[in-house]
A and B are shown apart, each in its own frame.
Chain A
């Protein structure tokens, strides 16, 4: 398996210039409101530029989201491949990809990482309990649950939250 491009924090690189651009645009808008002698062509050009800026920003966000999803699934596959023969959960959970998956959750806004792991429970279950607890702060698994019951508990949690 090729090395994963772990540069998953790119969204921040996008966000910072976007935040800066937003402030510049805001200042320009305020300034433009003070200018009363602008003609219709100037206002039209400004609106067109504003519209195009928004289109580019949306496209960048979509692109970043897509990169993050690719990165997430690459880390899931990497973790499974690298650790499947390890007898220690402690070691498996300390694998860099497992930790990165937990870290990626903060870059998503609609439970995408949680949803991906719950889908894993449905198709190829593995020990994602700790990651889900770390990301959500919740633990629907009871002490008496075995593996299958723990999986079922998390899936029920996901349905209750409307995530799956």
Chain B
């Protein structure tokens, strides 16, 4: 995996699950491990995918999914105890959403496409334009953790 994400190395991330094609990063960030979330205009190819109604496949659209759940935009890209966060990455070429990481207040967690769930120390470990890197974090949202 270090070959695909050159900033990852032993010590700054760990694998938390086997590879799993059932769900992707945005499904994982929404607590759904049964469906691959894909915008409907992009996913009519015989597979069955989920996408929330009336949500555009843009950074603003992806952010709206979380805003509807009580998240608010923040400029703090770090982990904050007492707050759940999601970070939406965008592709450096077309600025389309490419990935979502989530934090429970202790660590960042990501589902890497159809591959592993991992925990990673910071958001920048998946940023960049090399190999499978996801571009750059376009927006971070947070909400207080429910006690």
Contacts and interface: CB of A to CB of B under 8 A. Distances in A.
A151 to B, nearest CB: 9
B48 A146 contact: yes
Q: Using C-beta atoms within 8 Å of the partner chain, give the interface range for chain A.
A: 20 to 34
A18 B70 CA distance: 69
Nearest to B114: A84
A150 B132 contact: no
Interface string B21-62: 111111000000011101000110111110000000000000
B48 A133 contact: no
B22 A147 contact: yes
Interface residues of B, number: 28
Given A83-B113, A126-B21, A127-B21, A89 B42 contact: yes
Nearest to B96: A88
Interface in A127-147: 127, 129-130, 132-134, 139, 141-147
By CB atoms of chain A within 10 A, which of B21, B22, B36 has the most?
A: B21
A148 B34 CA distance: 8
Contact of A85 (B35, B38, B49, B132): B132
B139 interface: no
Given A126-B21, A147-B22, A147-B35, A86 B45 contact: no
B48 A88 contact: no
A88 B21 contact: no
A143 B113 contact: no
B21 A129 contact: no
A154 B114 CA distance: 19
B18 to A, nearest CB: 11
B23 to A, nearest CB: 8
A132 B46 CA distance: 8
Nearest to A143: B48
A87 B134 CA distance: 9
Interface in B96-129: 98-99, 112-115
A12 B38 CA distance: 38
A77 B36 CA distance: 21
Interface string A82-120: 011111111011000000000000000000000000000
11 contacts: A84-B112, A85-B5, A85-B114, A89-B36, A92-B114, A129-B45, A129-B46, A132-B46, A142-B48, A146-B48, A147-B36
